[in-house]
Each structure stands twice: as structure tokens, then as C-alpha cells.
Amino acid sequence: MTTYRAVQATGDGAFTLVERELSEPGPGHVRIAVEACGVCHSDIYGVRNVIGNRPAGTPIVPGHEVVGRIDALGPDVTGWRVGQQVGLGYLGGHCGACENCRRGDFVYCTDQPVLGDSIDGGYAESVIARASGLVAVPEELGAAEAAPLLCAGITVFNGLRKGAPRPGDLVAVQGIGGLGHLAIQYAVKLGLRVVAIARGEEKRELALKLGATEYIDSAAVDPGKALQGLGGATVIIATATTGASMTPLVEGLALRGRLIVVGAAGDPIEVTTSALIFGGRSIAGSLTGTPSENEENLAFSLANDVRPMVETVPLEQAADAYARMLSGAARFRMVLTTNN
């Protein structure tokens, strides 16, 4: 092969299937023959160039939940082999030299590309990325089921770990969608009592089937008061995309409880100082994880049968998959597949 297909997007949201010349990876980089790429809500940042990581009007290939096999190694790449199943998440590989990297804080590397935003991502048959961003994917996991775990999975998995609940603690998951349906599974497998929170009764049956012991309809009752009625939550994983829906959750935290925010919202979370001071409660954000943490996430998922619910579509239907994701109709992760 000398060319590959890719779906590129421009700032106006238009998607175009194009054919590009295949290139060789440079020093410290690898080329991956993509087999599957998840469609994530965060793809909007790259598609719309929200952060301004590239000049206005410059097309980008979206996608940061990539699984495939290495088909070329660049100079100076060690520890990886051609044919190995690997993945890439939201962060495209730390530099290893900036101040944050020197401290071991690779997630917040100041010289790290964002896959599908500052560099081309996985809505394609081929992608080139830094070897430092690679995640080893177990052969027992299929590409389509592993892809969403590299972003949605690690996001909630690390969020739970940062909340540091103990087995038997009450943990709440707000929002039963692409992130939330995984968060419930992780929490259950970690030995936690899980309360699912969503608007309406539509998600109740699924939440209980996934292992939640309680369900709170936030359209019918105040979720904070309902959580206090259950004794208060040690950790709440907030996956919704509105700050207003997270605001009442703070009152539902137990003594020294933590609200871990993983859903990116455009509006603020409003909280009274007394809600934080009297009870030692806190609010924290959590952003994805390092490649090694992602490998731990995959190992835990494999060992404990944590899997995403996915809808697969071929690469050329990327625009339809993206629209279905934005509409909220996906159940629960759209995944693009290639002929690789």
C-alpha cells in the first residue's frame, strides 16, 4: 500500500473522505494500521478547533480512541515490534523533557500533541504517533471493544481511583451514557456499592443490570438529598456535560467525600462554601491517564469482564457516527472500523 483512506473535518463540521500518501514514521514515532477508532464526545474540540491548536480552516483527522497494529517503526524506537496490537488515547505521547515530565506528571506534559486535534487522529486507516503515547493492548481484547476503553474507560477508571473509595463504600455515578455505563461496571468490580443517577426512568433497568444497587431519577427528586438519605456518597463520578446538573450533587457527599468531575461542561458548577467546609468535602477534575495507567485499565477490564456497549460502523460512515454520538442516540459508544 502506498496510500490510505482518512476522514478529515474542517471547523464548520464538514466531513470528507480523502486518500492520502502513506509516509514513514520519523524518529521516536511509529505507524499504526488502524483497525478501530471510537467516536468520543471530546472529538468536537478537534472538529470545531475549539482550543485553536491549529490555524483556522485547517482540516484535521479526528479520533483519539485508536486500536490497531504497528506496521512501521521509526528510528530510535525500542520496546515495540511490528505486528503488535497497540492503542492510542486522547494524549499523543509525552515529550519526556518538560518540567512536568521530569516530575513524572506525563498527563500534563506541556509539549504533548492531542490526537485528533493538534495532530491527525484515528478516523483513518493509518496514523503516525509518538511511541511514548502507545498503549499495549492485550490480544484477548478485540479492537472495537478495546478502543473506547482507551479514553472513556481510563477516564472513569482513574476518576474512581483518585476518589480512593474503600470496598463497600457508597459511590454514585451521574450520567448513564458512554462514560457512566463503564463507570458503573468498574465500581461494581472494585467492590463498591453503586448508585446510578440520571434524568428520567429510561436508564433505570440498564443501570441495575450493570450492577447498581440503587437508581436516582434526578428529574423527580433532588439527587443530593436522595444520596444523603442513603448515607452520603464517598465518591461521586460526574460524567454529565452540564455543570448545573452537577451542582446539587455536592450536598450528597458524605464526610470528606469527593466529587470527581470527568464530564466537560460549558457552564459552571455552583457550590456554597459551607457545603465544602462543614464536612471536608472537595471537588476535583480528572483527565484521562498515562499509557501505563491505561494498560492497568485494560488488564483490569479483561480480568473483570468490563466491556463497553458499542455500535460499529465502517470508516466511510464517520459523519453519521459522529452525528449519532452528538445526538445522544448512540448506545453507548460509536466505533469506526476499517478493512485492516
Question: pLDDT tens, 225-234?
Answer: 999 999 999 9
CATH number of domain containing 328: 3.90.180.10
Predicted confidence at residue 1, as pLDDT, reads 78
Residue whose grid cell is 450528597 = 252
186 and 274 assigned to the same domain = yes
Nearest to 37 by CA among 101, 103, 115: 115
139 and 163 assigned to the same domain = no
Domain that holds residue 171: 153-285
131 and 167 assigned to the same domain = no
Beta strand pairing status for 253-261 and 282-285?
parallel
Which of 285, 302, 319 is at the close of a domain? 285
Q: Residue 95: how many CB atoms within 10 A of its CB?
A: 16
145 and 67 assigned to the same domain = yes
Residue 109: Cβ-neighbour burial (10 angstroms; 0-12, 13-18, 19+): buried
CATH number of domain containing 221: 3.40.50.720
Predicted confidence at residue 64, as pLDDT, reads 98
Residue whose grid cell is 492520502 = 20
Give the CA distances from residue 203 to residues 21, 32, 136, 251, 261, in Å, rounded to whole numbers and listed in that order.
45, 37, 33, 23, 21
Beta-bridge partners for 86? 68, 136
The DSSP string of 264-324 is --SSPPP--HHHHHTTT-EEEE-----HHHHHHHHHHHHHHT----EEEEEGGGHHHHHHH
Q: Residues of the chain with pLDDT > 70: what percent?
A: 100
The count of structural domains within the chain is 2
71 and 198 assigned to the same domain = no
Beta-bridge partners for 233? 253
| Overall pTM surpassing 0.85 (yes/no) | yes
Helix (H, G, I), strand (E, B), or coil: what is residue 172? strand
Predicted confidence at residue 296, as pLDDT, reads 98
143 and 25 assigned to the same domain = yes
Q: Phi and psi of 198, rounded to 5°?
A: -155, 165
Beta strand pairing status for 29-39 and 333-337?
antiparallel
39 and 175 assigned to the same domain = no
pLDDT tens, residue order, the chain (340 aa): 799 999 999 877 799 999 999 999 999 999 999 999 999 999 999 999 998 888 888 999 999 999 999 999 999 999 999 999 999 999 999 999 999 999 999 999 999 999 999 999 999 999 999 999 999 999 999 999 999 999 999 999 999 999 999 999 999 999 999 999 999 999 999 999 999 999 999 999 999 999 999 999 999 999 999 999 999 999 999 999 899 999 999 999 999 999 999 999 989 999 999 999 999 999 999 999 999 999 999 999 999 999 999 999 999 999 999 999 999 999 999 999 999 9
Distance between CA atoms of 31 and 126, rounded to whole angstroms? 7
60 and 100 assigned to the same domain = yes
Predicted confidence at residue 56, as pLDDT, reads 84
Distance between CA atoms of 324 and 204, rounded to whole angstroms? 22
Predicted confidence at residue 320, as pLDDT, reads 97
